[in-house]
Amino acid sequence: MTVQIGDELNLALTTVGFTEKVSLLTMHLSEIEEEAGNVLDLLTALRAHTYRGDAAAGEEALAELTIALEHLGHHLSEVLPDLQKQLNIEPE
């Protein structure tokens, strides 16, 4: 039986005692994990393209990076308030 990332994150949240919005938090954290990987890959691609002097490919990688960061930011803004609330952490 294959354990999905979402299942692992769900278990992690319940293990630390989260009881509110666990499914929603799990979904957002799964998306954050996936998008963070995309961001790292795109940063690597951007550096590689520009190192080779390929401005067009660098610009394309940068555009994709911008979209990935926007997507990541959306999930961060959705998940942070609930995490902070359940962990009793004051927003900075």
Q: For 19-77, what is each residue's pLDDT tens digit?
A: 999 999 999 999 999 999 999 999 999 999 999 999 999 999 999 999 999 999 999 99
Q: Cβ(20)–Cβ(86) under 8 Å?
A: yes
pTM for the whole structure: 0.84
- Reported as a single tens digit per residue, the pLDDT across 63-82 is 999 999 999 999 999 999 99
Residue 59 CA to residue 56 CA, distance in Å, equals 5
Residue type for 62, please? L
**pLDDT for the residue numbered 7:** 87
- pLDDT for position 34: 93
Residue 2: pLDDT band with limits 50, 70, 90? very low
Spans of all domains in the chain: 29-82
